[in-house]
Chain A
Amino acid sequence: MTTQAPVETLDLEDIQGFIMRSYPLPCARYVYVHIDDKQVNAARSTLEKLTELVTASTVWPDATGLEHALNIALSFKGLMALGLPTSSLISFPSAFAEGMARRKILLGDEGASDPSKWDKVWQDSNADPKKSIHLWLAVFAADESKRDSYYSQLAKLLGLGSGMSVLGFEDAGRLKDPTTQQYVNTEHFGYRDGISDVEFKGMPFPHVDGRGKLMPDGSWVPLATGEFLLGYPDESPENPLAPIPHLLARNGTFMVVRKLHQNVASFRCYLNEQSKKFPGGKELLAAKFVGRWRDGTPLTLSPDKQDPILADDVNRNNSFTYKDDRDGSRCPMGAHIRRMNPRDAMLFSKLADRRRIIRRGLTYGVHTPEDQPGNDTDEHGIMFLVMNSNFERQFEFVQQQWVHYGNDFFQGDDKDPLLGNNDGKGKMVIQGDSKTDRAPHICTGLPSFVNTRGGDYFFVPSLTALRQIALGIISTI
């Protein structure tokens, strides 16, 4: 017997594949499905068929040759519709049971982001029991035609007699240049995305510095598995709160789905106007918002220029601390990446270890080339996914304290310049540099560059749990 029990291997065949990493598949379709609770047997049998198609983590480490993938998540109402016993339902965390819309004050979903302004499919889901989104299907594919043909296969499974109906879907994927039809490597605001993956114990990938947690000796080690998967010790170290029975929870996680509309014209216009006042110019200003140059180069490592070789090097582009940037002269104290993952910015990196989240995003809508002003009204944004084992401790804390407040970073009530609900009144201080005599610059009148257009909280079960739900054998007795 030992007091040290590191989880070194995970049951990859039981864990849904998209938890580990984004597939190397550029196209996605997110499908919103309603379950008819009067046809629960049919719905369970459909779920069983879908489960057979679910992509597990055994595709990793490379996912080579993968042409399409399917993953599944269930809302609290979905679990109810599938007939989970009350004794199990009431063991789920209250935040999950309540759903995202009712957490709006915590999340800063006010004004244009208020649930009353969300897309119809999400508004209906909150208001009309006959239109509740119960099941979230994610189809990933190598290209649009493979996505369409794979989806049409699934659509047959969801047809008449399946006990399920499709309420709507949303396509997402990497952006393309409208003229050349070649993929571009950025999201709508022109930043390279998807650099910061987390690393936890048991992941089927080689170790990369900068993704896990920072140790006192300056080394990086994987985070505890239980921060992201239920049924394993977390950083405390205790098993995270999880529903019963144990097999329902183990190897599962909780997921936030958030449709974030991006106000492309507002962003570009603000950047142009503000950079006239900012001595470093437009690209440096864009970099200061995020803490990375738009090509992904971290400001902390390269404060004066983009560094394409560094930006492309996965072993270096995320491997940094704020030890030599305490005053924010390189990466501002209130920059986006310093808020989302403060590393050692608050001196005790252990504080950040309990607030880490898996972040995934795929863009939707048409790319506006950088030389055009763009507009705010078209459908374009990011389908944002977060995975964590505890909504309240992880996602909601980050959203409330770090996105919509700045006190932990000595930034008063300043919000995240990109994600904050700034509403034209936002402010961000770009710290100066006493060594070069560069004065601080204050950005004022920040609008909301991003608005929430929908979303909810979901449970991502293991394959074992999906099968047991499908068989109707979940029992706490």
Chain B
Amino acid sequence: MSINCAWLSKLTKPINLKLNKNGQAYGLTVLAPIKKGHADKLRNTLAKIPPVDVDSPLANIPLTHNARFNVIDDLPFIGAPALYDHLQNQYLLFSCVFDTGNSNASSVEADLDAYLQQMFAAMPEDITKIWGHCVDFPEPLTLPAFQDFVKKYQISGGLFFADYPDNSAEQVRRSLFEQKQFIHFAIKAQDIKGSEPAQLKADFYAFYKTLANTPTPPAGSII
């Protein structure tokens, strides 16, 4: 089984891994063919997985910026005089942006391996529940088999836009948290009338020290 649409296959092999990186961010795109007759069950499985917030299994993969699953039925007909272009399969799209900045990986491929390793550790049951509806899904599931499966159906990003090419998800979350805390501090400081610059400075240092010791809210939480 391989990706069978003419123009899509151009994006498949050989994969230009460099196209998948923007700064330290990696854009992973996987198009896995769905087993015949499984799309409705897969949609039902996906509908029951919490989409956002801390309950999403994807929030347990610390490197994730954002990720989504999408069932693709076919190409839309875009009107005459277009050629009819059909997919011979339904596909499960997995599109995800993750961090590579903190990894010690030596290559772009190793970056992907490291992410898939985290994913495998964080949500092994969900991986089977979801991708189990796809062709070639390895059974029994092992980490190397999962990595091979994803790479087999990975396509190149083409034009990869990353919201935060240079900052990790952890840094973004921390910054939003600190921004919010700082607004609280600024409001408090503004309400103290006639506060002396020296006092304000001391208050700020105290605030900063407390902030530095406050942990970042967990991944997936709305800050």
Contact = CB atoms under 8 A, between A and B. Distances in A.
Task: Say whether A associates with B.
Answer: yes
Interface of A: 277, 427, 439-442, 444
B183 interface: yes
Interface string B182-206: 0100110011000000000000000
A257 B178 CA distance: 42
A376 B148 CA distance: 66
A442 B186 CA distance: 8
A439 B189 CA distance: 12
Interface of B: 183, 186-187, 190-191
A415 to B, nearest CB: 15
Contacts of B183: 427, 442
A440 B187 CA distance: 10
B45 to A, nearest CB: 27
A439 B197 CA distance: 13
A440 B183 CA distance: 11
Name B's interface SS.
helix
Contacts of A444: 187
11 contacts: A277-B190, A277-B191, A427-B183, A439-B190, A440-B186, A441-B190, A442-B183, A442-B186, A442-B187, A442-B190, A444-B187
Contacts of B187: 442, 444
Contacts of A427: 183
4 A-B pairs with the lowest CB-CB distances in the bound complex, closest first? A442-B187, A444-B187, A442-B186, A442-B190
A408 to B, nearest CB: 15
A442 B184 CA distance: 10
A439 B187 CA distance: 12
Most B C-beta atoms less than 10 A away, residue of A427, A439, A442 = A442
A345 to B, nearest CB: 21
A442 B189 CA distance: 11
Given A427-B183, A442-B187, A444-B187, 4 more contacts: A277-B190, A277-B191, A440-B186, A442-B186
A332 to B, nearest CB: 15
B182 to A, nearest CB: 11
A277 B183 CA distance: 17
Contacts of A441: 190
Most B C-beta atoms less than 10 A away, residue of A427, A441, A444 = A444
A432 to B, nearest CB: 11
A449 B186 CA distance: 24
A442 B190 CA distance: 8
Nearest to B179: A412
B196 to A, nearest CB: 15
Contacts of B186: 440, 442
B172 to A, nearest CB: 14
B189 to A, nearest CB: 10
A18 to B, nearest CB: 40
A58 to B, nearest CB: 42
Nearest to B191: A277
